[in-house]
Amino acid sequence: MAHQAHAYHMVDPSPWPLTGAVAALLMTSGLAIWMHFHTMTLMSLGLLLLLLTMYQWWRDIIREGTFQGHHTPPVQKGLRYGMILFITSEVFFFLGFFWAFYHSSLAPTPELGGCWPPTGITTLNPFEVPLLNTAVLLASGVTVTWAHHSIMEGQRKQAIQSLTLTILLGFYFTALQAMEYYEAPFTIADGVYGSTFFVATGFHGLHVIIGSTFLAVCLLRQAQYHFTSDHHFGFEAAAWYWHFVDVVWLFLYISIYWWGS
C-alpha cells in the first residue's frame, strides 16, 4: 500500500548491520592475528569497515529523520528509550572498573605493603591538573546546557557558539589528560594501582573522545539547519551522553584521584 496506517517507522532493508557485524568479526580475529603473527592488516580492515558502517548507518538515520520525516513522536520516544538503555549499559561497564578499584584499594594485599596507595607509588596531586580537568568538564556541562536552551529558543548563533565552546572544552580535557598520562610517575604495568588507574581513566578518556565526536556531528548538523526548536533529539542524545561522561569523571576523581591518593 502507498501509505502506512500507523506512526511507526518500518525501516527499509539496510546492509549496515551486516557490514557492522563483519567489521566486528574482522577486528576481533584481526586482533588475534596481530598478536600471533605481527601483522595489522586484518584488524585495520575491520576498523575501516567499522568507521564506514558508523558513518553510513548514522547518515541514513539522519536522512530518515530529518529529511524524510520518519521520526514521529512515538518513534522519537523509542529512540529516547534506546539512548537511555545504552547509557545504562555503559554505566554498568564503568561499574565493573570501579568494583575492581575498590576491591583492590579497600583491602590492599601484602604485596602492596598492605596499604593504599601501594608502597612505592607516587600518586598525582588531586588538586593540580585533575582538579582543573574537573572544572573543565563541569564547565562543559554548563555550556552544553546553554546550547540546548539556545536551540530550544531558536537562537542559532548562540547555539553554534555554545556548542563549539563545549567541544573545545572537551578537547582541552583530552589534551590535559594526555599530558598527565605522559608525565605520570607510574605506568599501567605498575601493579594493581597502575592497572586500575589507567584502565578506568583510559576508558573514560575514550568516552570523552566519543562524546566530543558526537557533539561535533551535532555542531555540523546545527550549522546545516537540521535541528528545530522542538525537534533535535540527536543533540539531546549527545548532551545526555556528555553529562554521563562528566558524571563518570566526578566518580573517578573522588574515588581514584582524591580518596585513593
Partner 1 sequence: MLRALSRLSTSGFRSVARTRTGYSAPLASRCYSHGKVETEEEFDSRWVTYFSKPDIDAWELRKGMNTLIGYDLVPEPKILDSALRACRRLNDLASAIRILEAVKDKAGPHKEIYPYVIQELKPTLTELGISTPEELGID
Footprint on this chain of partner 1 (rule: CB under 8 A): 103, 106-110, 113-116
| Closer by beta carbon to partner 1, 116 or else 227 | 116
Q: Report the nearest approach of partner 1 to the CB of residue 171 (Å).
A: 39
Nearer to partner 1 by Cβ, of 53 and 105: the residue is 105
Nearer of residues 110 and 185 to partner 1, judged by Cβ: 110
Q: In whole angstroms, how close is the CB of 110 to partner 1 at the nearest point?
A: 4
Toward partner 1, which CB reaches closer, 111 or 128? 111
Q: What angle do CA 185, 190, 196 make, to 5 degrees?
A: 100
Report long-range pairs for 130-139 (Cβ below 8 Å, ≥24 apart).
130/180, 130/253, 130/257, 132/176, 133/173, 133/176, 133/177, 133/249, 133/253, 134/249, 134/250, 134/253, 136/169, 136/172, 136/173, 136/176, 137/169, 137/173, 137/245, 137/246, 137/249, 137/250, 138/246, 139/169
For residues 9 and 74, what is the distance between their CA atoms, to the nearest angstrom? 9
The grid cell for 194 is: 597502575
Q: Least distance from C-beta 109 to partner 1, angstroms?
A: 7
CB of 92 to partner 1, least distance (A): 22
> How many angstroms separate the CA atoms of 4 and 107, rounded?
61
Q: For residue 24, how far is the Cα from the chain centroid? A: 19
CB nearer partner 1, residue 46 or residue 108: 108
- CB closer to partner 1, 69 vs 114: 114
| Shortest reach from residue 147's CB to partner 1, in Å | 44
Minimum distance from CB of 127 to partner 1 (Å)?
22
CA atoms within 13 A on the CB side of 7: 8
CB of 108 to partner 1, least distance (A): 6
Alpha carbon 28 to chain centroid, angstroms: 21
The alpha-carbon radius of gyration of the chain (Å, integer) is: 22
State which residue, 68 or 109, has the beta carbon closest to partner 1. Answer: 109
Quote the CA–CA distance of 41 and 62 in Å, as a whole number.
32
